[in-house]
Structure 1
Amino acid sequence: MTTRPPREERDPDRLTWWDTTWRVGAALLLGLFVWTLTAVMTFPSPQEELPDTFRTFWLVLVDPVIGLVATGLMILRRRWPVPIAVVTTLLTGVSVFAAGAQSIVLVSLATRRRWREIVPVTALSVLVSLVNTRVVYPEREPLPLWVEAVLTALIIIVNVAIGYAIGSRRALVASWVDRARSAEAEQSARVAQAQTAERSRIAREMHDVLAHRISLVTMHSGLLTYRPDLPEGERREAIAAIDTNARAALTDLREVLGVLRDEDGSGSLRPQHTLRDLPELLDDARAAGTRVTLDDGGVDLSAVPESTGRTAYRVVQEGLTNARKHAPGAAVTVTLSGRPGDVLRVEVVNPRAVGSQPAVPGSGLGLLGLAERVELAGGEMSHGWDTRDQHRLVVSLPWAT
């Protein structure tokens, strides 16, 4: 089953059956009018002598037939515009009834706005019209040749001007349609880009949050595995920490998946952590057994802008997660420094792991995602091992006043 496309979505240059029907009707009416006018001027009054038999036979029987043929050819004018224009113009030399079809074809040709086609056909039309009025149906008292040529040229030029105006209007409408389609395509591309960017942001949030939670779960579970001699109290604390962080990870995962499945985009993530939540993050890390030292450098955590504070919080969180993964049991030092109007510097330092404790598997995307986040915030990031065998994660973020 096929459905008809909406009218505004159809090709504006494609003719419907009604467009073709009224054009054929107009050609027939115009041809009939010219034929009637010629018959009145050709046949004299009863008191005058009749024209020769051949011219009478031609006008009454042959001329309308040729006009109908020209009208049929007119339907093909869009497929072969120049050949049809030339043929119908030549037919008007022996048939005044064909003038209606030739006028429609000439107007159609002019809508193409190609002067290399319009000028020769226009000149041919003037010449053929003079042949018709001077040879086929000569008048008893003809006008001077130059006057008749000028009048004929003016009539044909009017047809050309009408067709040229119609072509200009069609080109303008086509440009509007193209512009609307381009704008719609660009809008769709922007929406898709925004959706992709939002999903990338959610994926980064999911990695930051879940990696932190899972690293805590892994640390406690590893502690239970490799320390069977733990006192009962510490064992229960480890189990409670595993349960708490596992439930929190599931809650965060449900929230993120809920946003991803939201079709209308009305869902959103809960407010993200900033530097104001840094003490809570460090307390969780200490509760998990990580030795963390904070040197805030006199920075007022509540004075840091929210966007900068979110990125700085993620830097510390990623640093703690990487320390638990790759250097379990090592002490971590977090240092903050900077002032408004300059930069906020965040540094997370940890030595190599002591002993042969099991390492937590990582995705390898944490620092890559963090680098993208820092770059989007307009900051700079560096990380690696220094000469004192310490891993340093250093980030500088712009601190607006």
Structure 2
Amino acid sequence: MNTDVAPRLGGWQQAWRLVAAAALGFPFWLSTAAALPRGCAADTCSWLVTGDPLVALGCLTALLWRRRFPLAVTMAVAVASGPSTLAIGAALLALCSISTRRRPVEIGVVALVYVAASQLTLVLYPIKTPPGSLPLQLALPTLSAGIAAAMGVAVGARRVEVWSLRERAESAEREQSAREAQARALERNRIAREMHDVLAHRISLVAMQAGVLDHRDNLTAEENRTLIRGIADGSRQALEELRDVLGVLRAGPGRPEPPQPSLDRIPELVADARTSGLDVTLTTTVSGKPSDGVGRTCYRVIQEGLTNAAKHAPGAPVHITVEGTAGDELHVRVHNFPPTTTTTQPPPSGFGLLGLAERVTLAGGKLSHHRAPDGGYVLTAHLPWPDHDHETRS
């Protein structure tokens, strides 16, 4: 993990830190002045009132670049704190600042330089020290350096923790946004699929019947009435089914859905297609009753096949074969022959077979569609049919 997490400081934050550093160095400067012999400050010890404040001012100015050159600025200020006791506050601030990086070797080197530089005060000024006081002279700078380093490490750890929490929050927001986007996409796909399954079949049959009325002028009055009645009934059923689908999509989680199509309703689907003018033949050899999911998918395959036959092969015979056995597979085949009449076709949606392929894949089956050798079109689906009854008895 990158531990060098330093926030950008504003102007007022920089200012109060520099003021705090100057205020921290002032007690050290006063204690040094108090330890000097009387009258020394105006004579041999004039450095205390001239050079010491100037060096401290230079150190405070150098602190403005401690974010850009942390190690170089900290080392320079630590060395300068030896001849300038007023710069000790700047040195401690620099040490605290560099300790936020939490690099032990770096902190140790800077602290050692700071403690060693603090002993230059005894060289510059004639301060009398009792014999054996060296440990005491090292204790105060060592203690101050330790406190500054500990504060810097604590601040650095806090910054890393805040940065980590912020990253987690941002990551959680991104994941939530991604989940919401995925949920919206899935919902749009579900709505589109349901709309297509409900409307495409009915509207295709209505369009086929309207095309027959438009292109054939040799129909009897009874045939015309049958086609017109079929258009009216198909339109009404399409509106009713659309209302049911919209009601489900708008309903809350507790609202029950209307009955879904199953294998038992395939003869009814074929009968509606025949009423609308399609020449449909259904052959069913199914032993047993598949699950609702398999039956519904089989229904949708046949519905899509009849819809495409009504769109692209008006007047052509359609052969539907459904066969299967529990414990094996359920095979569905919809074969429409080449069109026998020419009518104005509705614009293709291009999503029917895509949505159907998704349904079949989710059911664990395989879907294929291709042009037949006779010029027609073949749509086939192979759906797994596990024998749950046999497993239950076992």
Which TM-score band applies after superposition, normalised by the shorter structure? Answer: 0.7 to 0.9
CA separation of 1:140/1:12 partners in 2, compared to 1, >3 Å: closer, same or farther?
closer
Cα drift, residue 247 of structure 1:
4.9
List aligned pairs for 1:271-286, cutoff 5 A. 271=258, 273-275=260-262, 276-286=264-274
CA separation of 1:336/1:177 partners in 2, compared to 1, >3 Å: closer, same or farther?
same
Equivalent-residue separation in structure 2 for 1:377 and 1:143 (angstroms): 90
Q: Is the 8 A contact 1:380 1:397 kept in 2?
A: yes
List aligned pairs for 1:256-295, cutoff 5 A. 271=258, 273-275=260-262, 276-295=264-283
Q: Is the 8 A contact 1:316 1:348 kept in 2?
A: yes
Pair 1:360 & 2:345 matched: yes
- Secondary structure of 1:329's aligned partner: coil
Cα drift, residue 181 of structure 1:
0.8
Equivalent-residue separation in structure 2 for 1:346 and 1:151 (angstroms): 91
Aligned to 2:159: 170
- Secondary structure of 2:67's aligned partner: coil
More deviation in 175-184 or 243-252? Answer: 243-252
More deviation in 115-124 or 371-380? Answer: 115-124
- 1:31-52: per-residue Cα shift (whole Å, max 9, x none)? 1222232233335xxxxx5436
Counting matched residue pairs gives 381
- 1:247-291: per-residue Cα shift (whole Å, max 9, x none)? 55566668889999x8x9989996473215434322221210123
Aligned to 2:367: 381
Aligned to 1:37: 31
Aligned to 1:108: 97
- Secondary structure of 1:228's aligned partner: coil
- 1:3-33: per-residue Cα shift (whole Å, max 9, x none)? xxxxxxxx98244566545534532332122
Aligned to 1:6: none
Pair 1:183 & 2:172 matched: yes
Q: Is the 8 A contact 1:256 1:269 kept in 2?
A: no
- 1:130-151: per-residue Cα shift (whole Å, max 9, x none)? 2223334644326565774576
Cα drift, residue 117 of structure 1:
4.4
Aligned to 1:129: 118
Q: Is the 8 A contact 2:91 2:114 kept in 1?
A: no
- Secondary structure of 2:66's aligned partner: coil
| TM score, norm. by length of structure 1 | 0.79
Q: Is the 8 A contact 2:315 2:341 kept in 1?
A: no
Cα drift, residue 154 of structure 1:
5.2
Aligned to 1:70: 59
Aligned to 1:296: 284
Aligned residue identity for 1:360: Q
Aligned residue identity for 1:27: A
Equivalent-residue separation in structure 1 for 2:361 and 2:125 (angstroms): 86
CA separation of 1:268/1:81 partners in 2, compared to 1, >3 Å: closer, same or farther?
farther
List aligned pairs for 1:212-231, cutoff 5 A. 212-231=201-220
Q: Is the 8 A contact 2:198 2:242 kept in 1?
A: no
- Secondary structure of 1:53's aligned partner: coil
Aligned residue identity for 2:261: T
Aligned residue identity for 2:72: P
CA separation of 1:71/1:257 partners in 2, compared to 1, >3 Å: closer, same or farther?
farther
Pair 1:345 & 2:336 matched: no
CA separation of 1:35/1:259 partners in 2, compared to 1, >3 Å: closer, same or farther?
farther
Aligned residue identity for 1:201: R
Aligned to 1:370: 356
Cα drift, residue 358 of structure 1:
3.1
Equivalent-residue separation in structure 2 for 1:279 and 1:136 (angstroms): 112
CA separation of 1:63/1:215 partners in 2, compared to 1, >3 Å: closer, same or farther?
same
Q: Is the 8 A contact 1:255 1:269 kept in 2?
A: no
Q: Is the 8 A contact 1:212 1:321 kept in 2?
A: yes
Q: Is the 8 A contact 2:294 2:383 kept in 1?
A: yes
Q: Is the 8 A contact 2:322 2:331 kept in 1?
A: yes
Q: Is the 8 A contact 1:273 1:313 kept in 2?
A: no
Equivalent-residue separation in structure 1 for 2:261 and 2:36 (angstroms): 99
List aligned pairs for 1:14-93, cutoff 5 A. 14-15=8-9, 19-20=13-14, 22-43=16-37, 50-51=39-40, 53-54=42-43, 56-60=45-49, 62-64=51-53, 66-93=55-82
Aligned residue identity for 1:40: A
Aligned to 1:204: 193
- Secondary structure of 1:358's aligned partner: coil
Equivalent-residue separation in structure 2 for 1:143 and 1:63 (angstroms): 28
Q: Find the partner of 2:226 among 216, 228, 237.
A: 237
Equivalent-residue separation in structure 2 for 1:369 and 1:225 (angstroms): 31
Equivalent-residue separation in structure 2 for 1:214 and 1:388 (angstroms): 27
- Secondary structure of 2:225's aligned partner: helix
Which structure has the higher relative contact order (CA within 8 Å, separation 6+)?
A: 2
Pair 1:305 & 2:291 matched: yes
Gaps of 5+ in 1: 1-10, 44-48
Q: Is the 8 A contact 2:286 2:325 kept in 1?
A: no
- Secondary structure of 1:314's aligned partner: helix
RMSD between aligned residues: 3.7
CA separation of 1:315/1:72 partners in 2, compared to 1, >3 Å: closer, same or farther?
same
> What fraction of aligned residue pairs are identical, expressed as a percent?
43
